[in-house]
Amino acid sequence: MNRNETIGAIRPTPEQDLVRELARFTTPDWRRSLTEIAVTIVPLVILWFLAWQAMSISYLLTLLIAIPTAGLLVRVFLIQHDCGHGAFFTSRKANDWLGRVLGILTMTPYEVWRRAHAIHHASSGNLDRRGIGDLDTLTITEYRALSLPRRLLYRLYRHPIVMFVIGPAWLFLLGHRVPPGQLRKHWQSWASAMGTNLAIALFFGGMMWLVGVQTFLMVHLPIVMIAASIGVWLFYVQHQFEETYWADTRDWSLKEAALHGSSHYDLPQPLRWISANIGIHHVHHLMSRIPFYRLPEVLAAHPHLAEVGRITLADSLRTVRLKLWDEDQHRLVSFREARV
């Protein structure tokens, strides 16, 4: 190899250059972080109280108030998400303790989720490393190799009612109560799950004592179920879009998977605030240590990133039909397209 070839071989890729540039956005501002906690938790408590008081007027009014309350609960989860990446405070202990406390409200054991989510970030878009921290997605070849009963099960799993209503409710109400799959081998995962379960029992038990068991369930269950559906929908859209990125290990690139396998879910401003800018997901995957409130700064400094993997609210509704990965066309397709 001559000198020019050597220089070409070690020259950084555009993605590597971009990652180095993004590092300057990773410093959190503790005052801004505390403000974000306050403007999320305080309205959440107020709306929960109003939903409870609305029970004496109309349960329909309680359900209407549950919608914005659920949005704020999603925002709590996304603050917990930033804590899991060590992005919300400079102190790891501060991130971890806040994450554990918020995990009680989100019914998500912090240590278990953090481990699973780290695996997701390290393997997103890798066809050979699916299974932890992501949504089950088969290739057309894998789907055709299944028996008829297993095809029907996969179709059921990918049905919108199961994916966005039944599945999220099961995950947050029951699924998070024990560590999933491989994570059951770690005692830390069991300690996190059982500790969170105990804290949930004590906190929610106190709430039931305060307002009554039936009243608490009628107020809080709709909030949790709506929030769970919103959360799973956001995660779905972040990676399940037509021109996303999947590759075998031999062809897979972490940086390319981050930039092109994660969408820019360009939401209207109120929804962008509620979702804590998580729609700027390609930037988040490239540099997960950036606090969510600094992600818009990245787009302002690098306007070209706004168009990479961009999906509007209307575009996102069409992604529901996508079910299988077409390895020949390198895109997600519907069952109907797969038959052709």
DSSP characters for 11-71?
Answer: SPPHHHHHHHHHGGG----HHHHHHHHHHHHHHHHHHHHHHHHGGGT-HHHHHHHHHHHHH
What's the confidence (pLDDT) of residue 2?
41
What's the confidence (pLDDT) of residue 252?
93
* Average pLDDT of the chain to the nearest whole number: 92
The average pLDDT across 160-183 equals: 92
* 65-107 pLDDT per residue, tens: 999 999 999 999 999 999 999 999 999 999 999 999 999 999 9
Plot region of 253 (φ>0 → left; ψ -120 to 50 → alpha; else → beta): beta
Of 298, 295, 249, 244, which Cα lies nearest the Cα of 272?
Answer: 295
**Residue 263, burial from CB neighbour count under 10 angstroms (0-12, 13-18, 19+):** buried
* 107-151 pLDDT per residue, tens: 999 999 999 999 999 999 999 998 787 889 999 999 999 999 999
* 199-253 pLDDT per residue, tens: 999 999 999 999 999 999 999 999 999 999 999 999 999 999 999 999 999 999 9
What's the confidence (pLDDT) of residue 130?
85
pTM: 0.91
What's the confidence (pLDDT) of residue 4?
42
Q: Which residue type occupies 160?
A: P
φ, ψ at 331 (rounded to 5°): -160, 160
| Gap between the Cα atoms of 85 and 88, Å rounded | 8
Buried/exposed 281-303: b ≥16 CB within 10 Å, e otherwise:
bbbbbbbbebbbbbbeebbeeee
Kind and range of the H or E run holding 264? strand 264-266
